[in-house]
Amino acid sequence: MKSFLFIRQYVKYLALLAPLALLACGHKDAPQAGPRPAVVMTVGDHADAAWSVYSGEVRARHEVDLGFRIAGKIISRSVNLGDKVRKGQEIARLDPQDAKLSASASQAQVAAAQADLALAQAEYERARNLAAQKFISSSVLDTRQTQMDAAEAKLNQAKAQANVSGNQVGYATLMADRDGVVTALSAESGQVVAAGQLVARIADPAELEVQIWIPETRANTFKPGMPAFVRPWNTQELTLPAQVREIAASADSATRTYAVRVKLLSPDAKISLGSTAAVAFANASSEGAIKIPLAAVIKRDQGTQVWVVDAKNTIQPRLVEVGEYRDESVVIRSGLVRGDRVVTVGAHILNAGTQVRPVEQKAPVALDVTR
């Protein structure tokens, strides 16, 4: 019983000391928060703003999808992906038995039509002799004439059908219609294909182009013959002159972008079909301008502005004049000079006079051990 009373008094004592301990802790000074980190970009020269760059795929100007002109079963395929082929070289072959049987039937129809014509001609000659002797009327002679003309027409029809059937025997062999490289195959030996179904795609590497896609907002700025420069991704040191050859008349239904074909004026052997390349176009209106990320720009009542970090690492607003909005960047016509440090992330939540710790945008990611 005495132990129970002692424990009860001890608990009451602790309950009285707890508020005092919390009050003592409350008087400790809270740690001062340091400058908040801010991702910044140092404005460089104007070279980046003077160019619009798009990535695209290297394609051949002339690409042909080859398919059989008749249906059938493929019994052999003579090429593989990447093979170089010559004009007239065999690509694949169908089972020709059905085509040969059809040709034989057509030849038999020609022979039957020839026999019918010979009989009609003989009947007409006899009728003509009898009509000359006044043994038959002229209407009977006209009937024999009509029968002979019909037999001759049927013979011509049978010969035409025989020619078609003979051609189909030749259609059982698929030939390359130009020199090139096999870039796609969609049929194997043993497969039954329909007439016109894609079997192989042949691309002529003699004339290379880069296909790019441009947004709707810039479609009107591109014209055929417009100069450009192409830099393959696999050969960064190589820069080739090019020009716009073709611009799609309508936008893609899914991406709402326009396909543009840029012709290489001097193709290089290092460029391969299907590879990726960057296409750069000069912007005459961007002379003296500066390109910054789109997230660095904010719009306020007083105008478009960016946050600039001064020498004391304090952010200050600065009004700028926008020359052009791009996909992920903005071209600034005036308001910034080389060497300015612009905040590129979280510009919409900053306030003037905030002390920051600048982190360069291109700096490697590291742990923030000061937080």
d(CA 130, CA 141): 9
Residues in the chain: 371
Mean pLDDT of the chain: 83
Query: Does the pLDDT at position 267 exceed 90?
Result: no
Which CATH number is correct for 72-94+173-202, 1.10.645.10, 2.40.50.100, 3.40.50.150, 3.40.640.10?
2.40.50.100
- The pLDDT tens digits of the residues spanning 340-370 come to 888 888 777 778 888 888 888 765 444 343 4
Query: Does the pLDDT at position 33 exceed 60?
Result: no
d(CA 200, CA 186): 6
Lowest-pLDDT choice from 36-40, 269-273, 288-292, 333-337: 288-292
Phi first, then psi, for residue 105 (nearest 5°) are -65, -40
Query: Is the full-model pTM beyond 0.85?
Result: no
What proportion of the chain, given as a percentage, has pLDDT over 70? 84
Query: Does the pLDDT at position 268 exceed 70?
Result: yes
Query: Does the pLDDT at position 74 exceed 80?
Result: yes
Query: Does the pLDDT at position 323 exceed 90?
Result: no
Per-domain boundaries in the chain = 37-49+288-360, 52-61+204-284, 72-94+173-202, 97-170
Query: Does the pLDDT at position 337 exceed 90?
Result: no
For domain 52-61+204-284, the question of CATH label 2.40.30.170 is answered with yes
- Banded model confidence at residue 216, pLDDT cuts 50, 70, 90: confident
- Banded model confidence at residue 45, pLDDT cuts 50, 70, 90: low
Give the pLDDT of residue 5: 47
Q: Domain 97-170: which topology? A: Helix Hairpins (1.10.287)
Query: Does the pLDDT at position 9 exceed 70?
Result: no
Looking at the structure, give the CATH architecture of the domain made up of residues 37-49+288-360: Beta Barrel (2.40)
Query: Does the pLDDT at position 79 exceed 90?
Result: yes
Average pLDDT score over residue span 307-327: 84
Query: Does the pLDDT at position 183 exceed 70?
Result: yes
Give the pLDDT of residue 274: 87
- Banded model confidence at residue 83, pLDDT cuts 50, 70, 90: very high
| CB-count exposure of residue 366 (10 Å: 0-12, 13-18, 19+) | exposed
